[in-house]
Every structure is written in structure tokens, then in C-alpha cells.
Structure 1
């Protein structure tokens, strides 16, 4: 059984670490997040040309390093030459899992090519019970679950859309069936002008047996509002703000 959601919510998920004084998705950012009291780390995975799972949100390093290096066509050894700032380079998923064994990791599979390398890294690090895999793609989520049947996953975009439709129609049994293979729904507070996270939707999702995590929440006032609605997790760039706020409640 996965240990990912043991302990009482609400949970603070450090979005790409704590990148106030460190590059996002770097080992330094993750260490800073844990130093700030976060025990859940959110990150993203791509695969290099030689099939190594690495932590990066974008397919290229243009935004974070000012270079158009594409991760998927670059060898792992060549990525090590790209400076993200503060002396940091793109970390491997396996090394991150091993370096921070007390952290629980929320891992977004960003490409089809990343699935098998990510699963391999998780198995090699013996981290299955402290990892949650997620993806906008239901195909990716299902493939990861097929390879790691015991791993926790959160709802893909397709599951979220079906779940919200069932919730709004009041179809409780259907909602429970739609969510039967996931442990959490991770959504923005609103999308396309529609409020996704309300007291009613949170209560319905809880009744269906899943947690509700909201991204990306960086202001203390909004954190309080969401916690008042009963959400179970805040995905935030500012875990240094969220951790003491949650602790105080």
C-alpha cells in the first residue's frame, strides 16, 4: 500500500521546490523547500535522448537557462554542462529521490517518453510508496499504473472533466466510479471563468474517496480561503508562506 497520503491533511506541496533563491526544479530548490518545512515536493519529468528521467517542466531549457537545448534530443551527460544558476544543473529523478529520502514526491509525467524512465528511477530508488504520479494525459497515467500497479496517481485531465460533470449532475455513484483508480484530484481553483473548487465540489469529491489539491496558490489570503473550503492540499511556489499558515490552523 502506498504511504503517500498518510498523515492528516492539509498538505503543502512545494511547486518545483522553493525557487525564491534557487532555480526551479533544482536540488537546491528542493532542499530549500524541505528546510522551510515542506515534506511534499512537486516536480516534472522529461526524458533525455538516452532515456534518463530528469526534473524539468519545459521540453527545452530556454526559459530557465537561456538556451534552446531540447531535453529529449540531448544526452544526459551533455545536460550536465548547462548551468541553471547558483551552480545548479538539471537533476536526475533517481538522484533526487535518493538524496531526499524523507520527501514525498508529486511527479508530473510531461511526455510519453518520460514514463518508462521515470518508473525505472522510482523502482531503483525504492520510492514507490512515497511517490504520486500524475499527468494531463490519461494514456500516460494508465501506462504508469500498469508498470507500477501499487503507485498512487491523481486524476488526469479526462478524469477531472468526467468527475466534475458527474459531481454537477449529482451522480454520486458515477463520480465514485470515475475516481476509483486515483487518490487525489489536483486542479486549479478556476478554469475558463468557472469555479472548480467550491465547498460543494470539495464535499462531493471527499465523499467519493479522494483528496482535493489546488494549484498554484501563492497568496496567503487565497490559501486561507481554500483551506476554509476544506481542500486537502495547496500546491504552491511559496511553501515558506504556506507551511506556517497551515501549522497555525
Structure 2
């Protein structure tokens, strides 16, 4: 399956990392939802990219400083920050690209995913942050059956010792470093590869023609137009 990965949902139409954004992406045909996980003060798993609520929600506070009830009370112009539980209930068949934004969310997220049928098996874990690779190595040790993706921004291929420790099934370089990161070689070695996040149609088309196993896109409509021939042939 070619992964059509909606970056924080259909974020060009709805506020990112909200249930309307995720529903819109899936209804349009995205087979994979990318989202970010953080903990509230009372240990609930919220879907939010930023550590703070200023940018999207107009609240000068960190998500870790508020309880879930306090987060729910925020007037978000019809939107609100959802929980991982809500998303898992709503999408019982979708593949998930789960970005673990803090160390303390890793174990609760694994427990929640395992609690929801086969959701853990449908999840690909990444940690696109400082210290994220170490967190994923610990996840691999604790959960040998986890599906892990190595997010990559460096102008060079990943070192073998990191690959040995992490044992990722997926490799996710940024498009601008695809050649330097050795994407063709990584695919030949058996890793599934995605690139992104991308939004410009020219970049999406170039990445698609380059030959990858999935694309993370901010413009899910443009990505689905490109991927439609693949989906029709599956």
C-alpha cells in the first residue's frame, strides 16, 4: 500500500490535529493520518504539535500545565484539542503515523493503542524532536513488535549503529535530503520510505516520480490526485 499520509489531518481546510481535519482527510481518501501526542497535566493524551497553545488556540499556556477539562473549555471557534482515545474510536481501520513529542507520552500512548483492538499494529511510531531517536530505541527495547519510522533531516545516510539499535521498518527523510540520505539504497535494503511533509504540487510530483512508498503531505487533495492510479491498481 502506498501511504497517502495526511500531515495533521486535512490542515488546509480545518485546524490541524483536530477531529474535523482527520475526518476530512479520511473521507477524501487518505489511508494514513499523521498526528502529534502530548500529555496534559492530569495525564491525558492530547493531539497537539506545539508544546504551547498560543499559536493555534490563543492561550498563553503549555498543554502540560492544563488538565484535559481546562483544555476542553478553550473556545476554539468550533474546534477543540482531541484525545488519542477519540481518534482511535473514530478510525478503527486507518493507519497512523504517531509522532511522540515527549518522553513521558510514549508508554501511555502504547497502552492506549493496545487497548483499542489492532490499533497498535496499525501505528507507525516516529519522534521528530531532540532526543527522539533515543526515545525510539527505548521503545524498540520495550516493545519489540512496534513498527517504527526513522525521521531524518541530515544530509547523509543514517549510521548503521543507529539502524541496528532502532531496527526501523520505515525511513522518513525530508525531500530536500532524499538523495544524500540514500533513499534508493535504503529501499533496496528493505526499508519502506516516505518523504515529506510537502505541500507544493511540483514537489509532490517530483517525490512521487522519484520512487517512494509514501508521502507526507499538507495538501492531501494534491497528493491523492497523484496517488489515485496506484490506489486504483491495488
Scaled by the length of structure 1, what TM-score is found?
0.83
CA–CA separation in structure 2 for the residues paired with 1:70 and 1:200: 35
Q: Is the 8 A contact 2:33 2:97 kept in 1?
A: yes
Q: Is the 8 A contact 2:170 2:194 kept in 1?
A: yes
Counterpart position of 2:85: 94
CA–CA separation in structure 1 for the residues paired with 2:34 and 2:205: 20
Q: Which runs of 5+ in 2 are unaligned?
A: none
Q: Is the 8 A contact 1:220 1:245 kept in 2?
A: no
CA–CA separation in structure 1 for the residues paired with 2:187 and 2:204: 19
Match among 20, 27, 35 for residue 28 of structure 1 = 20
User: What is the SS of the residue equivalent to 2:204?
Assistant: helix
Counterpart position of 1:186: 172
Greater displacement, 134-143 / 91-100: 134-143
CA–CA separation in structure 1 for the residues paired with 2:162 and 2:66: 42
CA–CA separation in structure 2 for the residues paired with 1:88 and 1:152: 31
Q: Does 1:164 align with 2:145?
A: no
Q: Post-superposition shift, 1:201?
A: 1.9
Q: Does 1:141 align with 2:122?
A: no
Q: Is the 8 A contact 2:6 2:34 kept in 1?
A: yes
Change in 2 beyond 3 A, CA 1:175/1:70: closer
Q: How many matched pairs? A: 226
Q: Post-superposition shift, 1:37?
A: 0.6
Q: Is the 8 A contact 2:36 2:100 kept in 1?
A: yes
Q: Post-superposition shift, 1:200?
A: 8.6
Q: Is the 8 A contact 2:140 2:166 kept in 1?
A: no
CA RMSD, aligned part only?
2.3
Change in 2 beyond 3 A, CA 1:68/1:184: same
Q: Does 1:44 align with 2:22?
A: no
CA–CA separation in structure 2 for the residues paired with 1:79 and 1:200: 40
Q: Is the 8 A contact 2:51 2:62 kept in 1?
A: yes
Task: Provide Cα deviations, 1:49-92, integer angstroms capped at 9, x if missing partner.
Answer: 1111110000111111111121112111111111333x221111
Change in 2 beyond 3 A, CA 1:177/1:31: closer
Q: Is the 8 A contact 1:27 1:91 kept in 2?
A: yes
For residues 1-249 of structure 1, what are the structure 2 equivalents within 5 Å? 7=1, 9=2, 11-85=3-77, 87-126=78-117, 127-136=119-128, 137-156=132-151, 164=157, 174=160, 178=164, 181-190=167-176, 196-198=177-179, 201-248=182-229
CA–CA separation in structure 2 for the residues paired with 1:164 and 1:179: 15
Q: Which runs of 5+ in 1 are unaligned?
A: 1-6, 167-173, 191-195
Q: Is the 8 A contact 2:8 2:17 kept in 1?
A: yes
Change in 2 beyond 3 A, CA 1:98/1:197: same
Scaled by the length of structure 2, what TM-score is found?
0.88
Q: Post-superposition shift, 1:198?
A: 2.6
